[in-house]
Amino acid sequence: MKKRKFGLAMSLVLAAGTILGACGGGGNEEEQGGTAGEGGNKEDAFTVAMVTDVGGVDDKSFNQSAWEGLKAYGEEKGLSKGKDGFDYMQSQSDADYATNLNTLTRQDFDLIFGIGYLMEPAIGEIAGQQTDQNFAIVDAVVEQDNVASIMFKEQEAAFLAGVTAGLATETNKIGFLGGMAIPVIERFEAGFRAGVESVNPDADVQIQYAEAFDKAEAGKAIASKMYSSGVDVIFHAAGGTGNGLFTEARDLKKKDPERKVWAIGVDSDQTAEGVVTIDGTDHNVIITSALKRVDNAVKDLSLQAADGNFPGGEVTTYGLTEDGVGLAPINEELENKAEIEAKVEEYKEKIKNGEITVPGSYAELKTFSAQ
């Protein structure tokens, strides 16, 4: 018995040792060779990298969007993916953020993005330790001289989505499906409700949170309940949970092609998720999407930093004016498409010229409604 345990212990030590040995052997010679072939980068290029949150780089949402932005930046500067151009690291868990940020620091990237509010504590801490390194964070504010914070006026995009929903509804019942009750989603909700109110004060907006960004089945259940209670337009700000909304809308449309079921997407143009083929003709249940152009913001900030204008210690807010948020094209199938487009344009202008300040919180929404 004892012998066996000792054997096991020894063996595990050895197991660990062998991995290390096996990998260590060829290590150093290869290090330089690894990425040399991909080259084509200038010695003095301004290199940029990002760390995704747990969603990963292909989350069809803002991590992916940020990566698009980095790629666009690289294209503009003639850089390629790699340690001396632009690159990303993915995080498997919350604990990995700091490790990944540190790794990129060690690789001497000139600017490192942390994508998502989840990254805030890690950026805050590491920026304090690595004072010579420049960081940027999306969707959160870190008050340090070597950190540029990127915020969005999601409420403005959501406002336009609200305008669309308010005009598109026939039952005067509209739904909002939130991921988790966090400040970003609060901005979406407040803006959306303000938008609906502006064009259709009689409409009733049902609010529901799924308490998760990755539970499509929960999204489907909530959407199903809303639609059956007479809601005909639902806007989601719930990441992957929102895919359940689209599934439900498509299913309902398939069952009854005459029925008006509409959904509004978020972050990127999600039109592709809404296609239903009935009797050979394509329909789409998605009216439009409230766009959050993380890609534009990331690219813009990278370019600024490359030109020596790194906005360290500042909060850069991207709104309609900066082309940081927007609304995707309106679905052709909507009967009052022209009317909606006109109204959207009208409010766009009002927001841009400051005539309307879109509420970004429940408190602001209250005062907005009062007016």
Partner 1 sequence: MSSRFTNILIPVIAVFLGVLAGTIIMLVSGYNPIAGYSALWNGAFGDIYYIGEVVRQFTPYILAGLAVAFAFRTGLFNIGVEGQLIVGWLAAVWVGVSFEELPKIIHLPLAVLAAAAAGALWGFIPGFLKAKFRVHEVIVTIMLNYVALHVTNSIIRNVITDGKERTPNVAESASLRSPFFESITDYSRLHWGILIALACAIIMWFLLEKTTRGFELRAVGYNQHASHYAGMNVNTNIILSMVISGAFAGLAGAMEALGTFGFASIKGGFTGVGFDGIAVALLGGNTAIGVVLAALLFGGLKIGALNMPLESGVPNELVDIIIALIIFFVASSYIIRWFIERISKKGVK
Binding partner 1 by CB under 8 A: which of 68, 80, 110, 130?
Answer: 130
Q: How far is the CB of 221 from partner 1 (least distance, A)?
A: 16
Q: Which range binds partner 1 by CB under 8 A, 122-130, 228-236, 249-257, 289-297?
A: 122-130
* Structure tokens, 70: 């980095």
Q: Measured from the CB of residue 101, what is the shortest distance to partner 1 in angstroms?
A: 11
The alpha carbon of residue 43 and the mean position of all alpha carbons in its chain are separated, in whole angstroms, by 32
Query: How many residues in the shown chain lie near partner 1 by CB under 8 A?
Result: 64
Both tokens of 69, joined, read 């932005």
* Whether the Cβ atoms of residue 209 and residue 180 lie closer than 8 Å to each other: yes
Distances (CA, A) of 266 to 171, 338, 351: 23, 22, 19
SS3 call for 300: helix
Dmax (CA) of the chain: 82
Among 40, 44, 50, 54, binds partner 1 (CB under 8 A): 54
Residues 279-318 that bind partner 1 (CB under 8 A): none
Task: Give which of 151, 167, 150 is closest to 159, Cα–Cα.
Answer: 167
Site for partner 1 in 196-255 (CB under 8 A): 211-214
**Residue 40 is a binding residue for partner 1 (CB under 8 A):** no
Let me know if 30 is exposed, middle or buried by CB neighbors in 10 A (0-12, 13-18, 19+).
exposed
Does residue 3 interact with partner 1 by CB under 8 A? Answer: yes
| Window of 28-36, 224-232, 294-302, 351-359 that interacts with partner 1 by CB under 8 A | 28-36
Helix (H) or strand (E) holding 121: helix 120-129
Enumerate binding residues for partner 1 (CB under 8 A). Answer: 3-16, 18-20, 22-24, 26-28, 30-31, 33-35, 54, 56, 82-83, 87, 89-96, 98-100, 102-104, 106-107, 117-118, 120-121, 126, 129-130, 180-183, 211-214
